[in-house]
Amino acid sequence: MTINIAVIMDPIESIHTYKDSTFAMLLEAQRRHWSIHYIRPGSLYVLDGRPFAQATKLSVKDRSQNWYHLADYSEIELSEFNVILMRLDPPFNMEYIYTTYVLELAQNAGTCVVNNPVSLRNMNEKFSIVNFPDCCAPTLVTRDRERINHFITEHGDVVVKPMDAMGGESIFRITPNDSNRHSIIDQITDKGARTIMAQRFIPEINQGDKRILVVNGEPIDYALARIPASGEFRGNLAVGGRGQGIPLSDKDRQICSEIKTTLVDNGILFAGIDVIGSYLTEINITSPTCIRELDAQYNLNISGTLFDQIETLLN
């Protein structure tokens, strides 16, 4: 049968094809002769209990310019799609949550939504690591400024970050003698009004923040180590980090084994976990990246591995 697949993603004209993981998925869908539709962000709606969206047929070419073609938009009920890829980047706000409500209706009607919209809503990418304390460096989640200060004093070198951002945004490293310590805490917590995460600094960041891609609970054999630029402690590619492929270590595989059941039981078909040294730091499920980089370095087809799993679920 012809598989009808739709993708909900950030504005299609804004992506960089050479590094965009959603684009890699679209190329694979086209290679399999699936019928591809693009859904504009914000166009989902519910009418009399039935979920709809403005959607258009999409075709793609593997190049950096003039790489996509859209037909005319029409109103389509989401149950007409066999598969919906939810690939919107954070921020994770109420509009994102409303989108998961609509996608949950589609899922209940039989559409395969990747990833499970209930889990997208319930499993915060940073907070979810607290369920695996043996895999993590000392970690604190709070909005209490006094508690954060005590954590910094106790551990000496700490990274603080918001719970709802991505790409290295608003991440700070603080030591007890930092003259900006209190200002940073006030800023990141909005003077105690916003919950944040604090983690003991992991020196192995100089060897890279490893992104490990996981398909239906099983890790891809290679990780992308995002190595910080000179003078930086953040490895994120968005802030100048350099991506270098490396084989998974035994510890990486152990961490993947620890979280496998949680991912599978919650319908997380595609995840990107972050590991620094031997510590789990995040479980990314909204729109994990690094497919293109790993495919290029190791002649892989990670989207193919993912779509094989999707086809198994549809049969």
Of 140, 144, 147, 130, which Cα lies nearest the Cα of 161?
Answer: 140
What tens digit of pLDDT does each residue of 248-306 get? 999 999 999 999 999 999 999 999 999 999 999 999 999 999 999 999 999 999 999 99
pTM of the model: 0.93
Predicted confidence at residue 241, as pLDDT, reads 74
Residue in the block written with tokens 């598989």: 3
- Tell me how many degrees the CA angle 198-203-205 measures, rounded to the nearest 5: 85
Residue 295: CB atoms within 10 A of its CB come to 19
- Is there a catalytic annotation at residue 149? no
Same domain, 257 and 174: no
Q: Which CATH number belongs to the domain containing residue 87 in this structure?
A: 3.40.50.20
- Is there a catalytic annotation at residue 126? yes
Predicted confidence at residue 168, as pLDDT, reads 61
Would the pLDDT of 175 be above 80?
Answer: yes
**125, 209, 252, 274: which is the annotated catalytic residue?**
274
Percent above pLDDT 70 for the chain: 96
Supply the range of the domain harboring residue 250.
204-302
Q: Which residue, of 201, 217, 236, is where some domain finishes?
A: 201
- Is there a catalytic annotation at residue 87? no
Listed in sequence order, the residues at least 6 apart from 148 whose beta carbon sits closer than 8 Å to its beta carbon are: 140, 142, 160, 185, 189, 196, 198
**115, 234, 252, 292: which is the annotated catalytic residue?**
234
Domain count, the chain: 3
Q: Is residue 314 part of a domain?
A: no
Predicted confidence at residue 164, as pLDDT, reads 80
Q: Are strands 50-60 and 112-114 parallel, antiparallel or unpaired?
A: unpaired
Predicted confidence at residue 41, as pLDDT, reads 82
Of 220, 207, 233, 308, which Cα lies nearest the Cα of 272?
Answer: 220
- Helix (H) / strand (E) element for 118: namely helix 117-122
